[in-house]
Amino acid sequence: MQHHDYVLVVVRNLQQANDDDYVKVLRKQGYRVEVVPAGEDPIPIMLARPPIAACFQFDYPDLQGLTDLRHAKQRVASVPMLMITQAHSEHLAVWAFRCRVWDYFVHPIDMPRFLAVLESLRHTKLSGNPSPSPNGHPEPISSLDSQNAIPHEARLRCPPPESGQAHIDRAITFIDKNLHRKIAQSEVADSCHLSTFQFSRLFKRLTGSTFQDYVLHRRITEAKRLLANPRVSITDVCFTVGFSDLSYFTRTFQRYVGQPPSRYRVGMTEATFSPSAPPETAPKNDDIKSVARAEIPEPDTSPYRS
């Protein structure tokens, strides 16, 4: 069977968002990539124009998705199948290799190894040389399939144990409890049981803001609330919301609010004691997307308290 110089990506995600950064890397490396969206059958394409490899992309594999992969391997046995998933599961990995999946990758993908595998397959398939078995087993696929039940966790056909919003709610609670100190994205990701890569993508998708932008926005919002109390010094407000340098706090506050903390406090006081002035609307904890327009220092060099 003649193979064509492209990589086929078969999307079988349960959720709408696609973790496709690896696709962008492939294209930058000169690979031609074609994508089969969820719900479409990849087998006609694989039969008409066999690719050098087919990447089955899952977030959390379910019964239908794994059945599709196994069926594709049975129908187009000469095409190497790669499995890419967010699920860290030994049972799934064993199942995949017994189905003669060529290789198994878990997010965040080890890109050097992933590219090395594809380059090897590309060289082999386009040169016309027969491909060795990925695991060295000569058993026919039917023999392997008869001993390889789909893992129970996929048969449940259920979403991941926590929704994305549940992770973000936990992260926001963590941030609010720790505004007084430097907050590393990695420790918040750990508290959500996610990798830093997964957490970063999920946070941006659900809040519309990067993690560092959101934290800085929350610090300024909290500072505005504290400044309403005239008995609290501006220096104490600065330290309480996680800044260790008063001048940096003043500059940052002015960039966000349009005036320095001292003038903001005077304005609040005048509004409070003026009988004709309407009460100030409480600061809103939204409009996070506006934070992305501010010039924000890199998180590792910002003088937050540690």
Tell me the pLDDT tens digit for each residue of 152-164.
545 444 444 456 8
Q: Does residue 165 surpass a pLDDT of 70?
A: yes
Q: What is the location of CATH 1.10.10.60 in the chain?
A: 164-293
**For 4-155, which CATH superfamily applies?**
Response regulator (3.40.50.2300)
Q: Does residue 113 surpass a pLDDT of 80?
A: yes
Task: Give pLDDT, residue 298.
Answer: 43
Q: What is the location of CATH 3.40.50.2300 in the chain?
A: 4-155
**For 164-293, which CATH superfamily applies?**
Homeodomain-like (1.10.10.60)
pTM above 0.75, yes or no: no
Summarised one tens digit per residue, pLDDT across range 253-279 is 999 999 999 999 998 877 665 555 454
Rounded distance between C-alpha atoms, residue 249 and residue 224, angstroms: 12
C-alpha to C-alpha distances, 257 to 21, 86, 123, 143, 251, nearest whole angstrom: 36, 40, 58, 68, 10
Q: Does residue 91 surpass a pLDDT of 70?
A: yes
Rounded distance between C-alpha atoms, residue 252 and residue 245, angstroms: 11
Task: Give pLDDT, residue 18.
Answer: 57
Task: Give pLDDT, residue 195.
Answer: 86
**Mean pLDDT score, 29-46:** 92
Task: Give pLDDT, residue 59.
Answer: 82
Summarised one tens digit per residue, pLDDT across range 173-190 is 999 999 999 999 999 998
